[in-house]
Amino acid sequence: MNLLSFIDWWTLCIAALCAASCGMIGAFLVIRRLSLLGDAISHSVLPGLGAAFILAGTRSPAAMLAGALAAGVLTAALAAGVRRIGRLPHDAALGVVFTTFFAVGVLMVTWVAKSIDLDPSCVLYGLLELVSLDRVDLLGVSVPRALPWQVGLFAGNLLLIALLFKELRITSFDPHLATALGIHAGAVQAVLLTAVTATTVVSFEAVGSILVVALLVAPGATAQLLTDRLGRMVALSAVLGVCAAVLGYLGAVAMNTNIAGMIAVAAGAQFLFAAVFAPRYGVAARAIRHAGLSLRIAREDVLGVLYRLGEREAESTQPTLQHAQAVRAAGATIVARLACAQLRRRGLVEARGDELTLTPLGFEEARRIVRAHRLWESYLSQNLPLPLDHLHDPSERFEHFMSRELQERVAAEVGTRPDPHGKQIPD
């Protein structure tokens, strides 16, 4: 495939490293519900960069890093301060601070840009396309200037998480408990936000501040849909970041478009995919679970109708129900039709021509459902002052959700009397 010949491996490597660094640290922002703060910091480092440039007069990475770190820390502190003074909700305080910072930053960068090549659009979108052209010699090998920084960032984030995983976990879950145990939640938060700021600053020159935000939040959010363990979530978030970087890069090369933008799109697409297909929390899995529940309810409704029919008729005759009636009893939907078919397949209901009748197995099941229904009616009428015609509907719903254990506890409480409508509660 000739696409391979267009791949610049250095660029891909830097994008992947950056995505992994952002992904692993971003996972903590996501579970702390601080995604917006990541966004805020990544925007508000801009005036820090401008100020550092004006003060130091160079674009040296150290000066940039110092300026950005100062701005990032200032944002977090100011947001907390504005919130207290202005009695604002947290998000509004943050919104006010970071948009102002960002605007000031844009003005500063535009101003200094006249004298030096600090290009505002490069700050926003990054220059991944050019990253491998700017070289330094490292141990005799010519590598992109951004590479040692990205490697250092990756190692730093990895080390931080490895060392402080326990502290990050407990302060994220329950900061009060952490403080009570002597783990200073505020200090841990400050360390995390400093790491986020450093990640933003080191990354934005290569990938731009928009992509940094995407890579901080999207892989973490995707990972949270896919796992129930924090450790796995952090690792998965890093891996998903790398996937997005690779997919986005290939897509951009294939379509000859902006790499950073394409990586952000890939990260968003991953999230969308997970939101639909995640095994437990995805829309599809929920829909399947919901459909399964609807089917069960429809099946149980048909069984209940057949049982009540049998109560009315003489004991010698088997109660029967026309197929169409059964479908109507269960809601007259496709689900109801499916439910009837399932009942026959599972041997709970027998079909003689067009007539449905309960098998012994089905009779047992039906008795359990009617029992749940009448027990609940009895319980409600004994414990809540409800008129008789208010008992059926809640019981009709709850009969499908009443566990055997709860049934026995309710039975012990309501005794063996008939239900409030005078019907016998089956055993």
Partner 1 sequence: MKPGPAITSQPTSAAAGTSIAPSAPIALPAIDVHDLTVAYHRKPVLWDVDVSFAAGRLTAIVGPNGAGKSTLLKAILGLAPPASGHVRILGRPLREVRRRVGYVPQRESVDWDFPVDALGVALMGTYGALGWFRRPGRAERDRAMGALERVGMADFAHRQIGQLSGGQQQRVFLARALAQDAEVYLMDEPFAGVDAATERAIIDVLRDLRTRGRTVVAVHHDLQSVEEYFDEVVLLNMRLVAAGPVAQAYTHANLQRTYGGRLTILDEAAEAVRTTES
- Provide the binding-site residues for partner 1, judged by CB under 8 A: 31, 33, 163-167, 169-170, 172-174, 176-183, 224, 227-230, 232-233
For residue 398, the minimal CB distance to partner 1 (Å) is: 17
For residue 77, the minimal CB distance to partner 1 (Å) is: 19
For residue 198, the minimal CB distance to partner 1 (Å) is: 20
Q: Which residues pair with 135 in a beta bridge?
A: 144
Task: Please identify, using beta-carbon distances, which residue of 148 and 186 lies nearer to partner 1.
Answer: 186
Task: Please identify, using beta-carbon distances, which residue of 292 and 347 lies nearer to partner 1.
Answer: 292
For residue 280, the minimal CB distance to partner 1 (Å) is: 9
For residue 172, the minimal CB distance to partner 1 (Å) is: 7
For residue 179, the minimal CB distance to partner 1 (Å) is: 6
Is residue 268 within 8 A of residue 240, CB to CB? The reply is no
Task: Please identify, using beta-carbon distances, which residue of 232 and 296 lies nearer to partner 1.
Answer: 232
Task: Please identify, using beta-carbon distances, which residue of 100 and 179 lies nearer to partner 1.
Answer: 179
Task: Please identify, using beta-carbon distances, which residue of 179 and 342 lies nearer to partner 1.
Answer: 179
Distance from C-alpha of 247 to C-alpha of 241, rounded to nearest angstrom: 10
Q: What is the 3-state secondary structure (H, E, C) of the chain?
A: CHHHHHCCHHHHHHHHHHHHHHHHHHHHHHHCCCHHHHHHHHHHHHHHHHHHHHHHCCCCHHHHHHHHHHHHHHHHHHHHHHHHHHCCCHHHHHHHHHHHHHHHHHHHHHHHHCCCCCCHHHHHHCCHHHCCCCEEEECCEEEECHHHHHHHHHHHHHHHHHHHHHHHHHHHHCHHHHHHCCCCHHHHHHHHHHHHHHHHHHHHHHHHHHHHHHHHHHHHHHHHHHCCCHHHHHHHHHHHHHHHHHHHHHHHHHHCCCHHHHHHHHHHHHHHHHHHHCCCCCHHHHHHHHHHHHHHHHHHHHHHHHHHHHHHCCCCCCCCEEHHHHHHHCCCCHHHHHHHHHHHHCCCEEEECCEEEECHHHHHHHHHHHHHHHHHHHHHHHHCCCCHHHCHHHHHHHCCCCCHHHHHHHHHHHCCCCCCCCCCCCC
Task: Please identify, using beta-carbon distances, which residue of 127 and 226 lies nearer to partner 1.
Answer: 226
Distance from C-alpha of 349 to C-alpha of 362, rounded to nearest angstrom: 6
Task: Please identify, using beta-carbon distances, which residue of 251 and 282 lies nearer to partner 1.
Answer: 282
Task: Please identify, using beta-carbon distances, which residue of 174 and 311 lies nearer to partner 1.
Answer: 174
For residue 341, the minimal CB distance to partner 1 (Å) is: 32
Task: Please identify, using beta-carbon distances, which residue of 44 and 171 lies nearer to partner 1.
Answer: 171
User: CA 95, 99, 100, 101: dihedral to nearest 10 degrees?
Assistant: 110
Task: Please identify, using beta-carbon distances, which residue of 116 and 288 lies nearer to partner 1.
Answer: 288
For residue 181, the minimal CB distance to partner 1 (Å) is: 3
Residues with Cβ within 8 Å of residue 361, at least 6 apart in sequence: 347, 348
User: CA 185, 187, 192, 198: dihedral to nearest 10 degrees?
Assistant: 170
For residue 182, the minimal CB distance to partner 1 (Å) is: 4
For residue 409, the minimal CB distance to partner 1 (Å) is: 9
For residue 380, the minimal CB distance to partner 1 (Å) is: 19
Task: Please identify, using beta-carbon distances, which residue of 177 and 386 lies nearer to partner 1.
Answer: 177
